[in-house]
Copies of this chain bind each other. A is one copy, B any other.
Amino acid sequence: MFNLLSRREFLGGLGALTVGVLLSNLVREGEAKVKKAEPWPYVKIDPKKAGELAYNAWFEVYCAQATATGIMELLADKVGEPWASFPIHALKFGMGGMLGWGMTCGSIVTASLVMGLVLPKETVNDMILDIVEWYAETSLPTFVPDKPKFVKDLPKTVANSPLCHISVGKWMKTANKAFNSPERRDRCARVAASVAYRTVQLLNAWKDGTYKPTNTWNGPAAVGIPAQQNCNECHGTNIPTAPKS
């Protein structure tokens, strides 16, 4: 119908200024459709599809952006805005635990961002803590892609940590493969996919009303400082005591 009425006819009929003000009101309305403080809309998506997308994206964009791609692209397709406009490339920095510093696995960072955008206040911390603890305690990768890029079977390892350095390092030791080997690359692509899959599972359960938190670790409460659960792995037997108030 819009094509039947040219912009010139439309403007001519109403007066340019009226339409100008109207345009700006409408655009502002469009921008504010999802309010800043409102959770971003979530609909159930297929965890297997999210995993496949993440796995295949990894070889271009690495862990953080790959996990975000797996989830956000499906939501952009099914929901549209604000997912469709979010610049997923801005999340690439999470790779290698922050561009090679080996800190938080980038997949965990972007899975947490998605949860932060979607979930209400009373659920968000629990589900993020769940995925962090799941990552640390699970024999990874859990995801098996339909079409593996390099190898069919890969060793799996439990990191006991959500840190890239420890997760990758323990796997490299078990597999006896270098960081730049095809096997290690395939492994990290599958880890990114595993996190995307698990994140979607948790969010779908929440959407169904069946989500139940499972996390057990609270660093500050347990040891008086933000910390992992396995102090001696870095400190050996010489574990310092946090000052008490």
Contacts and interface: CB of A to CB of B under 8 A. Distances in A.
A4 B89 CA distance: 45
A44 to B, nearest CB: 20
A21 B37 contact: no
Interface in A206-245: 217-221, 224-228, 234, 236, 240, 242-245
A135 to B, nearest CB: 10
Interface stretch (A48-56, A113-121, A139-147, A195-203): A113-121
Chain copies in complex? 2
A36 B65 CA distance: 14
A178 B220 CA distance: 10
A77 interface: no
Interface of A: 1-2, 4-5, 10, 13-15, 17-18, 21-23, 25-34, 36-38, 40, 81-82, 84-94, 96-104, 108-109, 112-113, 115-117, 124-125, 128-129, 132, 162-165, 168-169, 172-173, 175-181, 217-221, 224-228, 234, 236, 240, 242-245
11 contacts: A1-B15, A13-B14, A36-B84, A87-B117, A89-B116, A97-B104, A101-B226, A102-B227, A169-B242, A172-B242, A172-B243
